[in-house]
């Protein structure tokens, strides 16, 4: 009996207009979302693109307490605390080795787009404001994804309304 495959989760924060990033940074400052991200992914492998790795402040790389897997086509790329994979399938195969129950795909846009068809769940922070940006969230087709949880909040710091939402594949 082979171990059950891990559940593949996308996790991202998106603006009302679908923006998730600008110039490899996040356009908003939402500490409540960073805490949510940390809590959701704690102890599980995280899979990210190389640009997302580069976007993390160095003191937070690798993301602590999680196996950090970085997808890059650069065969010679390496970084302290990161395991590399040449593509998403290799990254997910690497995760399988430790037979985790959950795997978290944490960005960026390219990786989300490739992972969306393979994911069973999307944990989305929906920010109720438009932002300028150059990177966009993956489309979650309502015929495929259904909302199963929603928790609305207003950010203490900047009065920014946002919701923690969970979508599951039908
Ligand atoms: N919903 C949702 N999905 C995502 N994919 C992401 C988020 N929110 C938020 N993100 C980031 O802000 C990326 O990280 C950071 C960026 C700048 C400063 C600190 C951080 N870090 C925050 C997480 C900390 C941790 O987890 O330990 C380490 C420091 C990715």
Q: Whose CA is nearest to atom 26 of ligand 1?
A: 38
Give the per-residue pLDDT at 2: 61
Nearest CA to ligand 1 atom 6: 12
Task: Return all residues near 142 (Cβ < 8 A) that are at least 6 apart.
Answer: none
Does the Cβ of 159 fall within 6 Å of ligand 1?
A: no
Nearest 5°: the CA angle 149, 107, 100 is: 70
pLDDT tens for 91-137 read 999 988 888 999 999 999 999 999 999 999 999 999 999 999 999 99
Q: What is the DSSP string of 34-103?
A: HHHHHHHHTTS-EEEEHHHHHHS-GGG-SPTTS-EEEE-S-TT---TTEEEESSHHHHHHHHHTT--SEE
pLDDT for the residue numbered 6: 93
CA distance to 30, 32, 109, 132, per residue, from 157 (Å): 8, 9, 27, 21
21 ligand 1 Cβ < 6 A: no
* pTM assigned to the model: 0.96
What ipTM describes this predicted complex? 0.96
The whole-number mean pLDDT for each consecutive block of 10 residues of the chain, a chain of 170 residues, reads 83 98 96 97 98 97 97 97 96 90 97 98 98 98 98 90 97
Q: What is the pLDDT of residue 116?
A: 98
Cβ atoms of residues 73 and 86 within 8 Å: yes
Atom of ligand 1 nearest to the CA of 36: 1
Predicted local distance difference test score (pLDDT) of residue 80: 97
Helix (H) or strand (E) holding 114: helix 109-115
Of 122, 132, 128, give the one whose Cα is nearest residue 154: 128
**Residues 2, 155: Cα–Cα separation, whole Å:** 44
DSSP letter, residue 3 = P
CA distance 118 to 66: 21
Pocket test for ligand 1, best of 60, 105, 125, 162 (most atoms within 8 A of CB): 60
For ligand 1, whether the C-beta of 38 sits within 6 Å is: yes
Whose alpha carbon is nearest atom 4 of ligand 1?
12
């Amino acid at each position: 009996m082979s171990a059950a495959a891990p559940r593949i989760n996308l996790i991202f924060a998106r603006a009302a207009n679908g923006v998730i990033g600008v110039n490899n940074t996040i356009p908003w400052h939402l500490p409540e979302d960073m805490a949510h991200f940390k809590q959701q992914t704690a102890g599980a492998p995280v899979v990210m693109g190389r640009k997302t790795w580069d976007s993390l402040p160095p003191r937070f790389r690798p993301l602590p307490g999680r196996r950090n897997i970085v997808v890059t086509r650069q065969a010679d790329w390496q970084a302290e605390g990161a395991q590399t994979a040449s593509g998403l399938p290799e990254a997910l195969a690497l995760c399988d080795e430790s037979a985790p129950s959950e795997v978290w795909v944490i960005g960026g846009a390219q990786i989300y787009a490739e992972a969306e068809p393979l994911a069973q769940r999307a944990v989305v922070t929906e920010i109720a404001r438009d932002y300028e940006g150059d990177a966009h969230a993956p489309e979650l087709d309502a015929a495929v994804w259904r909302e199963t949880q929603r928790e609305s909040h207003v950010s203490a710091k900047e009065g920014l309304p946002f919701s923690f939402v969970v979508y599951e594949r039908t």
